[in-house]
Amino acid sequence: MRTEITSTTSPPNIPLPQLEETLIQALSHAETTLTECILANAEINITYHGTTVIPLDNVDIEIGNLALIYLSNMTLKSSPLHMITVIPHLNLMYLDLIANISFIEVTGTYNISPELMNYTSRELISTDEGTLNLTFHDVEISGTVGLNINESNLYVHSVDLIYKPMSVMLRIKFKDGNGQEQTMEERRHDVRSSIEEPVYKDLEGRLNIILQERLNEILLNVSIGDLLENRNDTEISFRTATNNHIGNLNDFVDTILNALRENITDQVHIPNLEKSFERKLGFIRFRGSFKAEEGWLKSLKTLHRTADVILKTFDNSVEVSAALGLSKMEFGYNRYSAKFLEVGPSGSITSTIGENSVFLRGRVSYVDNNCTVTLQELRVRVLNHIRMSLTGLSPFNWILSKVATSIVNRSKSNIIANIEQTVGEKIQNLLLTFDCSSYFPQPAITNTST
CB atoms within 10 A of CB 231: 13
State the amino acid at position 212 in one-letter form. Q
Instruction: Give the model confidence (pLDDT) of 304-345 as tens digits.
Output: 999 999 998 776 678 999 999 999 899 999 998 887 766 777
Please name the residues in contact with 122: beta carbons below 8 A apart, sequence gap of 6 or more: 177
Map out the domains of the chain with their CATH numbers. 1-15+250-442 (3.15.10.50), 42-220 (3.15.10)
Distance from C-alpha of 174 to C-alpha of 194, rounded to nearest angstrom: 19
Alpha helices by DSSP H, 136-177: none
Instruction: Give the model confidence (pLDDT) of 183-227 as tens digits.
Output: 888 887 776 555 566 677 788 888 999 999 999 999 999 999 999
Q: For residue 338, which of 416, 286, 386, 283 has the smallest C-alpha distance?
A: 286
Q: For residue 414, which of 333, 334, 347, 339 has the smallest C-alpha distance?
A: 333
Query: What is the greatest pairwise CA distance in the chain?
Result: 96
By three-state DSSP, how is residue 244 classified? helix
Please name the residues in contact with 245: beta carbons below 8 A apart, sequence gap of 6 or more: 17, 91, 92, 93, 311
For position 130, what pLDDT does the model report? 85
Distance from C-alpha of 108 to C-alpha of 99, rounded to nearest angstrom: 27
Instruction: Give the model confidence (pLDDT) of 378-436 as tens digits.
Output: 999 888 888 888 888 766 665 565 566 667 777 787 888 889 999 999 999 999 999 99
For position 11, what pLDDT does the model report? 40
Q: How many residues does the chain have?
A: 450
When comparing pLDDT for 397 and 4, which is higher?
397
Long-range Cβ pairs for the range 185-190 (8 Å, 24+): 190/165
Distance from C-alpha of 137 to C-alpha of 147, rounded to nearest angstrom: 30
When comparing pLDDT for 175 and 96, which is higher?
96
Distance from C-alpha of 100 to C-alpha of 82, rounded to nearest angstrom: 5
For position 396, what pLDDT does the model report? 60
Distance from C-alpha of 345 to C-alpha of 125, rounded to nearest angstrom: 33
Given a cut of 80, whether residue 370 has pLDDT beyond it is: yes
Beta strands in 154-262 (DSSP E): 154-175, 181-188
